[in-house]
Structure 1
């Protein structure tokens, strides 16, 4: 049996109505979670990815016992924990806003959970000392939270959770209040500690980079349901639905029709508008079947002249738009009426002399094409 089993969890919140609506018996209901089911293995780090309001935080609050589910069951290490209060579940939640006690110093904040569990004083002292050193907080142990940096506060919140030795650790967007450089440092620290302690962990975020950097598996939640769950490479490169492809910024999601199957070559051919695109052969594809295919922008190479290459897809087009995309530039290239987006570095943009209206070749392997079922 899986270490954590979530079975058919649903939750609906009732929204306030005015007096007239109440007298008429009107109720407004907001179904946040709809029969969520998944399992997490011991020592696994599962990242739950989704947009604001999709139910991610609600799910964490249910797992740790802060709010009850309307239906479904929770099992941790073989035990049903539905009716256990939060302090009996052996689950710790690290909040987005740290939730440190302002009147307590770092050491006392960390010790608080042990004190409420009535652990012997000498054990508390030893555990707190150990975790302070483990998370490089020993030198700030007597300081109050208001004197700490954002990264230090987050490490204190993590230490407070770890010191009680939970069976399950939950993170609710723990890095969203930190600046970029601190975020990288704390993310590395979380991953190091998770592996060192072999902690079963659920990490909620809307940041796809965090998901790729941390996860053993990723679950995408959409409108209260799990849209897809799997290894990061499957989520980002083999999405099962158009929503997952779009949410993970695949961007090149094109509608086409199966033109030809060539099993001896391991290829199928799809026509998108007037553009023929080679894809990996799929025996389930039928001739003339309408399909949607996906190519990630980072899997596309551009060339100024027609290249000699083993890639099956070499398409000629014209740059219709150039925009910033983080540290890269995004090119939108019109390929015979089909818009194709790709990413390029600033140096390549300048060396190739690319501007709006430039003629380019778009190059990508057939294996970079994924048919969305």
Structure 2
């Protein structure tokens, strides 16, 4: 009997030890995993605006530096919520459209995975054609009111900060005032007091660029970062109180800015001592080749697609379109086109350039007729499947117009 009891206690001890050991192993595994996904890198911070009306905010998190495993992007910006105007109460109010609200309500799905990688997630705020904007608060109480609304959003959804964009306000609409010299500074002061440890950034555009000092106060005292807003250009924001280490002179449209320009801007960013590198409009496409050239300069490493690219909405089937690429082997997508006729002007509006296409991805059931000249003139070829390199048909860098049809 004594022997049986002894054996029983030994079994219990072994089971308890095994359970504790498994729990310890799991804890160590979680720590290892967490540390692996928040690898730091040195160099300028890379920023990506994502148009969440058509693209998934998760996609910037799918890119990593090839050797260190660090995320390529340091900041992802949800573009964009709005500053609306309540005519009944004559006050500016926060507004999120259905796509922005879906991201916020699904923050555990869309925001937390980025934050787990060490990527800061900001929410951009811009006007909505109703007369309210960041530059026409009539007094400090009004600025404080809107700042409290933004701080509540940041706290509720555990975001990393707010980005201001002074577009589409339509100042004067609904009887609202015109921009004044105190409004933006007061808003920054009030918001900074409410979210002292969060990021506040400024997309350098619109009337606000003229109202960055007031009553001895400079916008740079309250902002963390500011960036050039004119894509495919290199021009530093002129924000009093901000140093180049807090600015991006480079502004890259990931679907329109040529790779050679992006690389030139990356080199200039390093040489000129700027601390940020701004990009815009990441979609559900593989940008790893485009990003590699940039990361080689900024961080000394290639970029790889290390995660999953998602559609938006999350459960939607991606719309099939014809992809146009600047280089052979489907490198550097410049345009994604639906059925239709495209003159040179329309191709340029879509992101392509004249005589600058080297490969096409053509979904099943689509036919693409490519033309040598504008308005469907000159030599032509009919394609009904992917073309990895137009050199195969002596049409490389020759497309000036095209027609897409579906069966």
TM over 0.5: no
Higher relative contact order (CA 8 A, sep 6+): 1
TM-score by length of 2: 0.27
